[in-house]
Chain A
Protein backbone atom coordinates (compact mmCIF):
# COMPACT_ATOMS: atom_id res chain seq x y z
CA UNK A 1 0.00 0.00 0.00
CA UNK A 2 1.67 3.19 -1.20
CA UNK A 3 1.36 6.85 -0.33
CA UNK A 4 -1.37 7.18 -2.95
CA UNK A 5 -3.65 4.66 -1.27
CA UNK A 6 -2.88 6.23 2.11
CA UNK A 7 -4.21 9.53 0.79
CA UNK A 8 -7.25 7.84 -0.71
CA UNK A 9 -8.27 6.13 2.53
CA UNK A 10 -7.50 9.31 4.50
CA UNK A 11 -9.91 11.11 2.17
CA UNK A 12 -12.52 8.37 2.71
CA UNK A 13 -12.12 8.67 6.49
CA UNK A 14 -12.40 12.47 6.30
CA UNK A 15 -15.58 12.03 4.28
CA UNK A 16 -16.93 9.58 6.85
CA UNK A 17 -16.27 12.15 9.56
CA UNK A 18 -17.95 14.99 7.66
CA UNK A 19 -20.99 12.94 6.68
CA UNK A 20 -21.90 12.48 10.32
CA UNK A 21 -20.90 16.03 11.20
CA UNK A 22 -23.60 17.21 8.74
CA UNK A 23 -26.44 16.00 10.92
CA UNK A 24 -26.28 18.28 13.97
CA UNK A 25 -29.78 17.67 15.28
CA UNK A 26 -29.18 13.91 15.23
CA UNK A 27 -25.93 14.42 17.14
CA UNK A 28 -27.65 16.58 19.76
CA UNK A 29 -30.40 13.97 20.17
CA UNK A 30 -27.74 11.29 20.56
CA UNK A 31 -25.90 13.26 23.23
CA UNK A 32 -29.16 13.66 25.15
CA UNK A 33 -29.92 9.93 24.86
CA UNK A 34 -26.44 8.89 26.03
CA UNK A 35 -26.70 11.24 28.99
CA UNK A 36 -30.10 9.87 30.04
CA UNK A 37 -28.95 6.24 29.63
CA UNK A 38 -25.88 7.14 31.66
CA UNK A 39 -28.01 8.53 34.48
CA UNK A 40 -30.23 5.42 34.59
CA UNK A 41 -27.21 3.08 34.67
CA UNK A 42 -25.32 5.22 37.21
CA UNK A 43 -28.17 5.08 39.72
CA UNK A 44 -28.54 1.34 39.15
CA UNK A 45 -24.80 0.82 39.69
CA UNK A 46 -24.78 3.06 42.76
CA UNK A 47 -27.54 0.94 44.30
CA UNK A 48 -25.66 -2.24 43.38
CA UNK A 49 -22.27 -1.12 44.70
CA UNK A 50 -23.97 0.29 47.87
CA UNK A 51 -25.23 -3.23 48.52
CA UNK A 52 -22.05 -5.03 47.37
CA UNK A 53 -18.99 -2.77 47.71
CA UNK A 54 -15.97 -3.77 45.57
CA UNK A 55 -18.14 -5.88 43.31
CA UNK A 56 -15.90 -7.23 40.56
CA UNK A 57 -12.92 -5.48 42.12
CA UNK A 58 -14.20 -1.96 41.33
CA UNK A 59 -14.93 0.63 43.98
CA UNK A 60 -17.96 2.88 43.59
CA UNK A 61 -16.09 5.69 41.77
CA UNK A 62 -14.62 3.19 39.32
CA UNK A 63 -18.07 1.71 38.66
CA UNK A 64 -19.49 5.18 37.96
CA UNK A 65 -16.53 5.96 35.66
CA UNK A 66 -17.21 2.70 33.82
CA UNK A 67 -20.80 3.81 33.12
CA UNK A 68 -19.80 7.16 31.61
CA UNK A 69 -17.01 5.54 29.61
CA UNK A 70 -19.58 3.15 28.18
CA UNK A 71 -21.85 6.03 27.18
CA UNK A 72 -18.90 7.88 25.65
CA UNK A 73 -17.87 4.86 23.55
CA UNK A 74 -21.32 3.40 22.73
CA UNK A 75 -21.89 5.41 19.51
CA UNK A 76 -18.25 5.54 18.45
CA UNK A 77 -17.86 1.77 18.61
CA UNK A 78 -21.45 1.25 17.34
CA UNK A 79 -21.86 -1.47 19.96
CA UNK A 80 -25.63 -1.28 19.78
CA UNK A 81 -25.72 -0.59 16.03
CA UNK A 82 -25.48 2.62 14.03
CA UNK A 83 -22.20 1.94 12.25
CA UNK A 84 -21.47 1.23 8.61
CA UNK A 85 -23.16 -2.19 8.69
CA UNK A 86 -26.67 -0.90 7.92
CA UNK A 87 -25.49 1.00 4.89
CA UNK A 88 -23.32 -1.82 3.57
CA UNK A 89 -26.14 -4.38 3.98
CA UNK A 90 -28.51 -2.06 2.15
CA UNK A 91 -26.02 -1.64 -0.70
CA UNK A 92 -25.66 -5.41 -0.99
CA UNK A 93 -29.43 -5.89 -0.95
CA UNK A 94 -30.15 -3.27 -3.62
CA UNK A 95 -27.13 -4.12 -5.75
CA UNK A 96 -25.52 -0.70 -5.27
CA UNK A 97 -22.50 -2.70 -4.10
CA UNK A 98 -21.70 -3.03 -7.81
CA UNK A 99 -20.61 0.61 -7.77
CA UNK A 100 -18.17 -0.10 -4.91
CA UNK A 101 -16.80 -3.18 -6.64
CA UNK A 102 -15.76 -1.65 -9.95
CA UNK A 103 -13.69 1.02 -8.24
CA UNK A 104 -9.91 0.68 -8.00
CA UNK A 105 -10.10 0.43 -4.23
CA UNK A 106 -10.19 -2.34 -1.66
CA UNK A 107 -13.72 -2.91 -0.35
CA UNK A 108 -12.70 -3.73 3.23
CA UNK A 109 -10.19 -0.88 3.57
CA UNK A 110 -12.69 1.53 2.06
CA UNK A 111 -15.39 0.67 4.61
CA UNK A 112 -12.85 0.55 7.44
CA UNK A 113 -11.68 4.07 6.58
CA UNK A 114 -15.26 5.35 6.35
CA UNK A 115 -16.13 3.68 9.68
CA UNK A 116 -13.06 5.08 11.45
CA UNK A 117 -14.03 8.56 10.23
CA UNK A 118 -17.53 8.03 11.61
CA UNK A 119 -16.19 6.62 14.89
CA UNK A 120 -13.84 9.57 15.47
CA UNK A 121 -16.67 12.01 14.86
CA UNK A 122 -18.98 10.15 17.25
CA UNK A 123 -16.28 9.93 19.90
CA UNK A 124 -15.91 13.71 19.80
CA UNK A 125 -19.49 14.69 18.92
CA UNK A 126 -21.40 12.20 21.04
CA UNK A 127 -18.88 10.91 23.55
CA UNK A 128 -17.24 13.92 25.16
CA UNK A 129 -20.34 15.74 26.44
CA UNK A 130 -21.96 12.84 28.37
CA UNK A 131 -18.54 11.93 29.78
CA UNK A 132 -17.80 15.47 31.03
CA UNK A 133 -21.36 15.75 32.36
CA UNK A 134 -20.92 12.51 34.32
CA UNK A 135 -17.45 13.44 35.57
CA UNK A 136 -18.70 16.79 36.88
CA UNK A 137 -21.83 15.51 38.63
CA UNK A 138 -20.68 12.17 40.05
CA UNK A 139 -17.59 10.92 41.92
CA UNK A 140 -15.33 9.38 39.28
CA UNK A 141 -11.89 7.75 39.26
CA UNK A 142 -9.80 9.28 36.50
CA UNK A 143 -6.01 9.22 36.08
CA UNK A 144 -4.05 12.47 36.27
CA UNK A 145 -1.12 11.38 34.08
CA UNK A 146 -1.26 12.21 30.39
CA UNK A 147 0.39 8.86 29.63
CA UNK A 148 -2.57 6.96 31.08
CA UNK A 149 -4.93 8.87 28.76
CA UNK A 150 -2.63 8.21 25.80
CA UNK A 151 -2.69 4.46 26.56
CA UNK A 152 -6.48 4.67 26.84
CA UNK A 153 -6.70 6.25 23.37
CA UNK A 154 -4.57 3.44 21.92
CA UNK A 155 -6.99 0.93 23.44
CA UNK A 156 -9.93 2.86 21.95
CA UNK A 157 -8.28 2.87 18.51
CA UNK A 158 -7.81 -0.90 18.69
CA UNK A 159 -11.40 -1.25 19.89
CA UNK A 160 -12.52 0.61 16.76
CA UNK A 161 -10.72 -1.97 14.61
CA UNK A 162 -12.26 -4.93 16.42
CA UNK A 163 -15.70 -3.30 16.37
CA UNK A 164 -15.44 -2.68 12.63
CA UNK A 165 -14.17 -6.19 11.90
CA UNK A 166 -17.14 -7.73 13.74
CA UNK A 167 -19.72 -5.52 12.03
CA UNK A 168 -18.13 -6.03 8.61
CA UNK A 169 -18.68 -9.78 8.97
CA UNK A 170 -22.27 -9.15 10.02
CA UNK A 171 -22.82 -6.93 6.96
CA UNK A 172 -21.30 -9.42 4.52
CA UNK A 173 -23.86 -12.02 5.62
CA UNK A 174 -26.30 -10.03 3.46
CA UNK A 175 -24.61 -11.48 0.37
CA UNK A 176 -26.17 -14.83 1.29
CA UNK A 177 -29.21 -13.84 3.33
CA UNK A 178 -30.28 -10.79 1.27
CA UNK A 179 -31.82 -9.35 4.41
CA UNK A 180 -29.23 -9.26 7.17
CA UNK A 181 -31.42 -7.40 9.67
CA UNK A 182 -31.87 -10.44 11.90
CA UNK A 183 -28.15 -11.15 12.07
CA UNK A 184 -27.46 -7.47 12.76
CA UNK A 185 -29.94 -7.39 15.67
CA UNK A 186 -28.44 -10.52 17.18
CA UNK A 187 -24.96 -9.03 16.85
CA UNK A 188 -26.04 -5.81 18.54
CA UNK A 189 -27.61 -7.63 21.48
CA UNK A 190 -24.55 -9.86 21.81
CA UNK A 191 -22.39 -6.73 21.62
CA UNK A 192 -24.28 -4.90 24.36
CA UNK A 193 -24.11 -7.89 26.68
CA UNK A 194 -20.60 -9.20 25.94
CA UNK A 195 -18.79 -5.84 25.74
CA UNK A 196 -19.75 -4.98 29.31
CA UNK A 197 -22.15 -2.24 28.27
CA UNK A 198 -24.86 -3.54 30.63
CA UNK A 199 -22.58 -4.66 33.46
CA UNK A 200 -18.76 -4.77 33.66
CA UNK A 201 -17.45 -8.19 32.59
CA UNK A 202 -15.41 -8.64 35.77
CA UNK A 203 -18.72 -8.83 37.67
CA UNK A 204 -19.85 -11.88 35.64
CA UNK A 205 -19.50 -15.03 37.78
CA UNK A 206 -17.77 -18.33 37.09
CA UNK A 207 -17.56 -19.92 33.68
CA UNK A 208 -19.78 -17.26 32.09
CA UNK A 209 -17.29 -14.62 33.17
CA UNK A 210 -14.35 -16.66 31.89
CA UNK A 211 -16.00 -17.03 28.51
CA UNK A 212 -17.18 -13.44 27.94
CA UNK A 213 -13.79 -12.06 28.94
CA UNK A 214 -12.04 -13.90 26.07
CA UNK A 215 -14.66 -13.10 23.41
CA UNK A 216 -13.80 -10.29 20.94
CA UNK A 217 -16.48 -7.96 22.35
CA UNK A 218 -14.51 -7.54 25.59
CA UNK A 219 -12.00 -5.59 23.45
CA UNK A 220 -14.60 -2.90 22.92
CA UNK A 221 -15.45 -1.49 26.33
CA UNK A 222 -13.91 -3.67 29.04
CA UNK A 223 -10.40 -3.39 27.58
CA UNK A 224 -10.21 0.39 27.23
CA UNK A 225 -11.99 0.85 30.60
CA UNK A 226 -9.50 -1.36 32.46
CA UNK A 227 -6.60 0.54 30.84
CA UNK A 228 -8.04 3.89 31.94
CA UNK A 229 -8.93 2.66 35.45
CA UNK A 230 -5.50 1.09 35.87
CA UNK A 231 -7.08 -2.33 36.44
CA UNK A 232 -5.15 -4.16 33.73
CA UNK A 233 -1.71 -4.27 32.16
CA UNK A 234 -2.07 -2.05 29.05
CA UNK A 235 0.29 -4.19 26.94
CA UNK A 236 -1.72 -7.32 27.70
CA UNK A 237 -4.93 -5.55 26.70
CA UNK A 238 -3.35 -4.25 23.48
CA UNK A 239 -2.09 -7.71 22.51
CA UNK A 240 -5.53 -9.19 23.21
CA UNK A 241 -7.29 -6.51 21.12
CA UNK A 242 -4.75 -6.60 18.29
CA UNK A 243 -5.00 -10.40 18.05
CA UNK A 244 -8.77 -10.25 17.68
CA UNK A 245 -8.49 -7.37 15.21
CA UNK A 246 -6.06 -9.27 12.98
CA UNK A 247 -8.02 -12.53 13.16
CA UNK A 248 -11.40 -10.92 12.44
CA UNK A 249 -10.11 -8.63 9.69
CA UNK A 250 -8.46 -11.63 8.01
CA UNK A 251 -11.71 -13.59 8.28
CA UNK A 252 -13.52 -10.60 6.78
CA UNK A 253 -11.15 -10.61 3.81
CA UNK A 254 -11.72 -14.31 3.28
CA UNK A 255 -15.50 -13.97 3.40
CA UNK A 256 -15.32 -10.93 1.13
CA UNK A 257 -13.37 -12.78 -1.53
CA UNK A 258 -15.80 -15.70 -1.45
CA UNK A 259 -18.77 -13.33 -1.56
CA UNK A 260 -17.57 -11.23 -4.46
CA UNK A 261 -16.45 -14.23 -6.48
CA UNK A 262 -19.41 -16.52 -6.06
CA UNK A 263 -22.40 -14.45 -5.28
CA UNK A 264 -24.62 -12.68 -7.74
CA UNK A 265 -24.65 -8.92 -7.70
CA UNK A 266 -28.31 -8.00 -7.51
CA UNK A 267 -30.37 -6.10 -10.00
CA UNK A 268 -30.01 -4.61 -13.45
Chain B
Protein backbone atom coordinates (compact mmCIF):
# COMPACT_ATOMS: atom_id res chain seq x y z
CA UNK B 1 0.00 0.00 0.00
CA UNK B 2 2.83 2.41 0.85
CA UNK B 3 3.93 2.58 -2.77
CA UNK B 4 0.51 3.57 -4.03
CA UNK B 5 -0.10 6.07 -1.27
CA UNK B 6 3.32 7.66 -1.64
CA UNK B 7 2.85 8.09 -5.37
CA UNK B 8 -0.62 9.53 -4.86
CA UNK B 9 0.63 12.04 -2.34
CA UNK B 10 3.76 13.14 -4.19
CA UNK B 11 2.80 12.64 -7.86
CA UNK B 12 1.86 15.47 -10.15
CA UNK B 13 -1.41 15.40 -12.07
CA UNK B 14 -1.38 12.36 -14.31
CA UNK B 15 -4.80 12.80 -15.86
CA UNK B 16 -5.75 16.42 -16.44
CA UNK B 17 -9.03 17.79 -17.74
CA UNK B 18 -9.62 21.50 -18.01
CA UNK B 19 -13.03 22.65 -19.21
CA UNK B 20 -13.43 19.64 -21.48
CA UNK B 21 -16.56 19.59 -23.63
CA UNK B 22 -18.05 17.11 -26.03
CA UNK B 23 -20.96 18.23 -28.14
CA UNK B 24 -22.84 15.86 -30.44
CA UNK B 25 -25.04 17.00 -33.27
CA UNK B 26 -28.28 15.09 -33.16
CA UNK B 27 -30.66 15.28 -36.11
CA UNK B 28 -34.27 14.62 -35.43
CA UNK B 29 -37.00 14.11 -37.97
CA UNK B 30 -39.69 16.73 -37.46
CA UNK B 31 -41.77 16.11 -40.53
CA UNK B 32 -41.62 14.92 -44.10
CA UNK B 33 -38.02 15.63 -45.20
CA UNK B 34 -37.71 18.15 -42.41
CA UNK B 35 -35.02 17.69 -39.89
CA UNK B 36 -34.13 19.63 -36.83
CA UNK B 37 -30.54 19.85 -35.67
CA UNK B 38 -29.99 19.83 -31.99
CA UNK B 39 -26.83 20.02 -29.94
CA UNK B 40 -26.36 17.54 -27.14
CA UNK B 41 -23.69 18.41 -24.63
CA UNK B 42 -22.60 14.99 -23.41
CA UNK B 43 -19.72 16.48 -21.47
CA UNK B 44 -20.07 20.09 -20.42
CA UNK B 45 -17.04 21.91 -19.05
CA UNK B 46 -15.49 19.07 -17.12
CA UNK B 47 -12.37 19.80 -15.05
CA UNK B 48 -10.51 17.47 -12.72
CA UNK B 49 -7.08 16.00 -12.13
CA UNK B 50 -6.02 12.56 -11.02
CA UNK B 51 -2.59 12.01 -9.50
CA UNK B 52 -0.37 9.09 -10.39
CA UNK B 53 -1.26 6.03 -8.34
CA UNK B 54 -4.71 7.26 -7.34
CA UNK B 55 -7.73 4.99 -7.53
CA UNK B 56 -10.78 7.06 -8.35
CA UNK B 57 -14.38 6.06 -8.69
CA UNK B 58 -16.29 7.78 -11.48
CA UNK B 59 -20.01 7.44 -11.12
CA UNK B 60 -23.21 8.85 -12.52
CA UNK B 61 -26.55 7.73 -13.96
CA UNK B 62 -26.87 6.29 -17.47
CA UNK B 63 -26.19 8.93 -20.08
CA UNK B 64 -24.35 11.20 -17.62
CA UNK B 65 -21.25 11.33 -19.80
CA UNK B 66 -19.08 8.70 -18.13
CA UNK B 67 -18.35 6.62 -21.21
CA UNK B 68 -17.88 9.73 -23.34
CA UNK B 69 -15.23 10.87 -20.86
CA UNK B 70 -13.48 7.50 -20.99
CA UNK B 71 -13.57 7.51 -24.80
CA UNK B 72 -11.95 10.95 -24.84
CA UNK B 73 -9.33 9.76 -22.35
CA UNK B 74 -8.41 6.88 -24.69
CA UNK B 75 -8.34 9.17 -27.73
CA UNK B 76 -11.24 7.49 -29.55
CA UNK B 77 -13.30 10.67 -29.34
CA UNK B 78 -11.94 14.16 -29.85
CA UNK B 79 -13.14 16.79 -27.34
CA UNK B 80 -15.13 19.67 -28.83
CA UNK B 81 -13.41 22.06 -26.45
CA UNK B 82 -11.13 22.35 -23.45
CA UNK B 83 -7.80 20.77 -22.66
CA UNK B 84 -7.15 17.13 -21.92
CA UNK B 85 -3.89 15.36 -21.09
CA UNK B 86 -3.03 11.84 -19.99
CA UNK B 87 0.61 11.28 -19.00
CA UNK B 88 1.35 14.56 -20.76
CA UNK B 89 -0.12 13.23 -24.04
CA UNK B 90 -3.06 14.69 -25.95
CA UNK B 91 -5.04 11.45 -26.42
CA UNK B 92 -6.88 12.15 -29.67
CA UNK B 93 -3.74 13.48 -31.37
CA UNK B 94 -1.41 10.70 -30.29
CA UNK B 95 -3.78 7.84 -29.78
CA UNK B 96 -1.29 5.13 -30.72
CA UNK B 97 1.50 6.47 -28.50
CA UNK B 98 -0.90 6.77 -25.60
CA UNK B 99 -2.23 3.27 -26.21
CA UNK B 100 1.05 1.79 -24.99
CA UNK B 101 0.57 3.48 -21.62
CA UNK B 102 -3.08 2.76 -20.92
CA UNK B 103 -5.11 -0.34 -20.27
CA UNK B 104 -8.85 -0.38 -20.90
CA UNK B 105 -11.51 -2.81 -19.79
CA UNK B 106 -15.04 -2.23 -21.05
CA UNK B 107 -17.15 -4.60 -18.96
CA UNK B 108 -19.70 -5.05 -21.71
CA UNK B 109 -17.20 -5.59 -24.50
CA UNK B 110 -14.23 -7.86 -24.88
CA UNK B 111 -10.79 -7.41 -26.33
CA UNK B 112 -10.31 -11.18 -26.48
CA UNK B 113 -10.44 -13.29 -29.62
CA UNK B 114 -13.83 -14.91 -29.43
CA UNK B 115 -13.19 -18.18 -31.28
CA UNK B 116 -9.68 -18.86 -30.06
CA UNK B 117 -8.13 -20.06 -26.79
CA UNK B 118 -7.47 -17.32 -24.23
CA UNK B 119 -3.69 -17.72 -24.53
CA UNK B 120 -3.85 -16.73 -28.23
CA UNK B 121 -5.19 -13.30 -27.29
CA UNK B 122 -2.34 -12.86 -24.80
CA UNK B 123 0.25 -13.80 -27.44
CA UNK B 124 -1.29 -11.14 -29.64
CA UNK B 125 -0.99 -8.55 -26.83
CA UNK B 126 2.66 -9.56 -26.50
CA UNK B 127 3.24 -8.59 -30.14
CA UNK B 128 0.89 -5.62 -30.23
CA UNK B 129 2.40 -3.83 -27.23
CA UNK B 130 5.93 -5.08 -28.00
CA UNK B 131 6.35 -6.37 -24.48
CA UNK B 132 9.87 -7.71 -23.82
CA UNK B 133 9.70 -11.52 -23.54
CA UNK B 134 10.81 -11.76 -19.91
CA UNK B 135 8.40 -9.02 -18.86
CA UNK B 136 5.55 -10.68 -20.73
CA UNK B 137 6.18 -14.04 -19.05
CA UNK B 138 6.41 -12.45 -15.63
CA UNK B 139 3.22 -10.42 -16.02
CA UNK B 140 1.31 -13.32 -17.54
CA UNK B 141 2.36 -15.69 -14.74
CA UNK B 142 1.29 -13.14 -12.17
CA UNK B 143 -2.10 -12.53 -13.75
CA UNK B 144 -2.66 -16.26 -14.24
CA UNK B 145 -1.91 -16.89 -10.59
CA UNK B 146 -3.87 -14.01 -9.07
CA UNK B 147 -6.84 -14.19 -11.40
CA UNK B 148 -6.87 -18.00 -11.41
CA UNK B 149 -6.64 -18.39 -15.16
CA UNK B 150 -4.38 -21.46 -15.34
CA UNK B 151 -7.13 -23.86 -16.38
CA UNK B 152 -8.69 -21.39 -18.78
CA UNK B 153 -5.71 -20.56 -21.00
CA UNK B 154 -6.46 -23.27 -23.55
CA UNK B 155 -10.24 -22.74 -23.51
CA UNK B 156 -11.81 -20.81 -26.43
CA UNK B 157 -13.09 -17.47 -25.14
CA UNK B 158 -16.64 -18.15 -26.34
CA UNK B 159 -16.82 -21.04 -23.84
CA UNK B 160 -15.85 -18.93 -20.82
CA UNK B 161 -18.40 -17.77 -18.26
CA UNK B 162 -18.91 -14.03 -17.88
CA UNK B 163 -16.78 -13.90 -14.72
CA UNK B 164 -13.98 -15.93 -16.31
CA UNK B 165 -14.05 -13.75 -19.42
CA UNK B 166 -13.90 -10.60 -17.33
CA UNK B 167 -10.85 -11.88 -15.47
CA UNK B 168 -9.35 -12.75 -18.85
CA UNK B 169 -10.02 -9.24 -20.11
CA UNK B 170 -8.48 -7.60 -17.05
CA UNK B 171 -5.32 -9.68 -17.49
CA UNK B 172 -5.20 -8.67 -21.18
CA UNK B 173 -5.33 -5.00 -20.19
CA UNK B 174 -2.41 -5.32 -17.76
CA UNK B 175 0.19 -7.39 -19.63
CA UNK B 176 1.94 -4.30 -20.97
CA UNK B 177 2.26 -2.62 -17.55
CA UNK B 178 0.01 0.34 -18.29
CA UNK B 179 0.46 3.46 -16.16
CA UNK B 180 -3.25 3.97 -16.07
CA UNK B 181 -6.16 1.59 -16.19
CA UNK B 182 -9.67 2.64 -17.23
CA UNK B 183 -12.28 0.23 -16.03
CA UNK B 184 -15.81 0.64 -17.34
CA UNK B 185 -18.18 -1.51 -15.27
CA UNK B 186 -15.63 -4.25 -14.54
CA UNK B 187 -17.95 -6.18 -12.23
CA UNK B 188 -21.19 -5.91 -14.21
CA UNK B 189 -23.12 -9.16 -14.15
CA UNK B 190 -20.60 -10.97 -11.93
CA UNK B 191 -21.51 -13.12 -8.93
CA UNK B 192 -20.32 -12.25 -5.42
CA UNK B 193 -17.26 -14.51 -5.53
CA UNK B 194 -16.10 -13.23 -8.92
CA UNK B 195 -16.59 -9.63 -7.82
CA UNK B 196 -14.44 -10.22 -4.73
CA UNK B 197 -11.68 -11.77 -6.87
CA UNK B 198 -11.68 -8.88 -9.32
CA UNK B 199 -11.66 -6.24 -6.57
CA UNK B 200 -8.87 -7.97 -4.66
CA UNK B 201 -6.74 -8.14 -7.77
CA UNK B 202 -7.29 -4.48 -8.66
CA UNK B 203 -6.34 -3.44 -5.13
CA UNK B 204 -3.11 -5.44 -5.42
CA UNK B 205 -2.21 -3.98 -8.81
CA UNK B 206 -2.77 -0.45 -7.56
CA UNK B 207 -0.78 -1.05 -4.37
CA UNK B 208 2.16 -2.89 -5.91
CA UNK B 209 2.55 -1.21 -9.27
CA UNK B 210 1.18 2.21 -8.43
CA UNK B 211 -1.16 1.91 -11.41
CA UNK B 212 -3.57 4.83 -11.63
CA UNK B 213 -7.12 3.51 -11.83
CA UNK B 214 -10.23 5.28 -13.06
CA UNK B 215 -13.23 3.13 -12.30
CA UNK B 216 -16.69 3.63 -13.75
CA UNK B 217 -19.40 1.59 -12.11
CA UNK B 218 -22.98 1.36 -11.00
CA UNK B 219 -21.95 -0.94 -8.17
CA UNK B 220 -21.20 1.28 -5.20
CA UNK B 221 -19.55 -1.57 -3.38
CA UNK B 222 -16.80 -1.41 -5.99
CA UNK B 223 -16.21 2.18 -4.96
CA UNK B 224 -16.55 1.56 -1.24
CA UNK B 225 -14.00 -1.22 -1.35
CA UNK B 226 -11.52 0.25 -3.81
CA UNK B 227 -11.59 4.01 -4.04
CA UNK B 228 -10.65 6.65 -1.54
CA UNK B 229 -11.98 9.29 -3.88
CA UNK B 230 -15.15 9.47 -5.89
CA UNK B 231 -16.32 11.80 -8.62
CA UNK B 232 -20.00 12.09 -9.42
CA UNK B 233 -20.99 13.29 -12.87
CA UNK B 234 -24.43 14.13 -14.20
CA UNK B 235 -25.49 15.89 -17.39
CA UNK B 236 -21.82 16.12 -18.30
CA UNK B 237 -20.88 18.15 -15.24
CA UNK B 238 -18.96 17.25 -12.13
CA UNK B 239 -21.31 17.36 -9.16
CA UNK B 240 -19.06 16.02 -6.47
CA UNK B 241 -15.35 15.28 -6.11
CA UNK B 242 -14.00 14.05 -2.80
CA UNK B 243 -13.95 11.18 -0.35
CA UNK B 244 -16.86 8.75 -0.47
CA UNK B 245 -17.84 9.63 3.13
CA UNK B 246 -18.23 13.29 2.16
CA UNK B 247 -21.07 12.40 -0.19
CA UNK B 248 -23.33 12.09 2.84
CA UNK B 249 -22.96 15.74 3.72
CA UNK B 250 -23.33 16.98 0.19
CA UNK B 251 -26.38 14.80 -0.28
CA UNK B 252 -27.81 16.04 3.04
CA UNK B 253 -28.31 12.45 3.97
CA UNK B 254 -29.86 11.28 7.19
CA UNK B 255 -29.03 8.54 9.61
CA UNK B 256 -31.71 6.55 11.33
CA UNK B 257 -31.99 5.87 15.06
CA UNK B 258 -34.12 2.86 15.88
CA UNK B 259 -35.37 2.75 19.48
CA UNK B 260 -37.18 -0.09 21.26
CA UNK B 261 -39.32 1.22 24.11
CA UNK B 262 -40.84 -0.79 26.96
CA UNK B 263 -44.34 -0.47 25.57
CA UNK B 264 -46.32 1.06 22.77
CA UNK B 265 -46.21 4.85 23.05
CA UNK B 266 -47.15 7.81 20.88
CA UNK B 267 -44.26 9.15 18.74
CA UNK B 268 -41.47 10.42 20.97
CA UNK B 269 -40.82 14.14 21.14
CA UNK B 270 -37.22 14.40 20.05
CA UNK B 271 -35.15 17.62 19.86
CA UNK B 272 -35.27 19.10 16.31
CA UNK B 273 -34.22 18.42 13.60
CA UNK B 274 -34.66 14.75 14.59
CA UNK B 275 -38.17 13.46 13.96
CA UNK B 276 -40.05 10.21 14.10
CA UNK B 277 -40.61 8.76 10.68
CA UNK B 278 -42.19 5.42 11.58
CA UNK B 279 -43.85 3.69 14.54
CA UNK B 280 -44.48 -0.04 14.80
CA UNK B 281 -45.65 -1.27 18.22
CA UNK B 282 -42.97 -0.41 20.79
CA UNK B 283 -40.37 0.25 18.07
CA UNK B 284 -39.84 3.72 16.59
CA UNK B 285 -37.62 5.08 13.81
CA UNK B 286 -36.14 8.58 14.02
CA UNK B 287 -34.32 10.36 11.20
CA UNK B 288 -31.57 12.89 11.95
CA UNK B 289 -28.81 14.58 9.89
CA UNK B 290 -25.83 12.34 9.17
CA UNK B 291 -23.51 15.11 10.31
CA UNK B 292 -25.13 15.38 13.78
CA UNK B 293 -24.06 13.28 16.78
CA UNK B 294 -26.31 10.42 17.83
CA UNK B 295 -25.21 10.66 21.48
CA UNK B 296 -27.17 13.80 22.37
CA UNK B 297 -30.29 12.45 20.72
CA UNK B 298 -30.02 9.12 22.54
CA UNK B 299 -29.47 10.88 25.88
CA UNK B 300 -32.49 13.13 25.34
CA UNK B 301 -34.74 10.17 24.58
CA UNK B 302 -33.35 8.00 27.39
CA UNK B 303 -34.02 10.81 29.90
CA UNK B 304 -37.73 10.97 29.07
CA UNK B 305 -38.72 7.53 27.78
CA UNK B 306 -38.36 3.91 28.98
CA UNK B 307 -35.60 2.85 26.53
CA UNK B 308 -34.92 -0.90 26.19
CA UNK B 309 -32.64 -1.08 23.15
CA UNK B 310 -31.37 1.04 20.27
CA UNK B 311 -29.39 0.91 17.02
CA UNK B 312 -28.11 3.51 14.55
CA UNK B 313 -28.31 2.88 10.82
CA UNK B 314 -25.89 4.59 8.47
CA UNK B 315 -27.39 6.16 5.34
CA UNK B 316 -27.49 4.04 2.25
CA UNK B 317 -24.98 5.51 -0.19
CA UNK B 318 -27.13 4.53 -3.13
CA UNK B 319 -30.03 6.45 -1.64
CA UNK B 320 -27.75 9.45 -1.16
CA UNK B 321 -26.68 9.45 -4.78
CA UNK B 322 -30.20 8.85 -6.05
CA UNK B 323 -31.24 11.90 -4.03
CA UNK B 324 -28.43 13.96 -5.58
CA UNK B 325 -29.55 13.03 -9.08
CA UNK B 326 -33.15 13.79 -8.26
CA UNK B 327 -32.28 17.23 -6.85
CA UNK B 328 -30.24 17.98 -9.92
CA UNK B 329 -33.06 16.96 -12.21
CA UNK B 330 -35.62 19.15 -10.44
CA UNK B 331 -33.24 22.11 -10.21
Contacts and interface: CB of A to CB of B under 8 A. Distances in A.
A102 B74 contact: yes
A98 interface: yes
B128 A103 contact: yes
Given A18-B116, A22-B115, A268-B62, A98 B124 contact: no
A96 B104 CA distance: 13
B113 interface: yes
B121 to A, nearest CB: 8
Nearest to A261: B78
Q: How large is the interface on B (under 10, 10 to 19, 20 to 34, 35 or more residues)?
A: 20 to 34
A19 B115 contact: yes
**Which residue among A15, A18, A103, A267 has the maximum number of chain B CB atoms within 10 Å of its CB?**
A103
B139 interface: no
A104 B91 CA distance: 12
B101 to A, nearest CB: 10
A264 B24 contact: yes
Interface stretch (A6-14, A132-140, A161-169, A235-243): A6-14
Interface string B100-132: 101010101111010110001001100111100
B108 to A, nearest CB: 8
Nearest to B112: A99
A264 B100 CA distance: 23
Contact of A104 (B24, B78, B128): B128
Q: How large is the interface on A (under 10, 10 to 19, 20 to 34, 35 or more residues)?
A: 20 to 34
A260 B95 CA distance: 12
A101 interface: yes
A265 B113 contact: no
Contacts of B127: 4, 7-8, 11
Contacts of A103: 99, 111, 128
Nearest to A268: B67
Contacts, number: 69
Interface in A77-126: 95-96, 98-99, 101-105
B156 interface: yes
Given A261-B78, A265-B76, A268-B62, A105 B128 contact: yes
Contacts of A102: 74-76, 95, 99, 102, 104
A92 to B, nearest CB: 13
A189 to B, nearest CB: 28
A201 B99 CA distance: 47
A99 B109 contact: yes
Interface of A: 4, 7-8, 11-12, 15, 18-19, 22-23, 95-96, 98-99, 101-105, 260-261, 264-265, 267-268
List the 4 closest pairs (A to B, CB-CB), nearest first: A104-B99, A268-B67, A8-B127, A102-B74
12 contacts: A8-B124, A8-B127, A15-B116, A19-B115, A19-B116, A23-B115, A98-B76, A99-B104, A99-B109, A99-B111, A103-B99, A104-B128
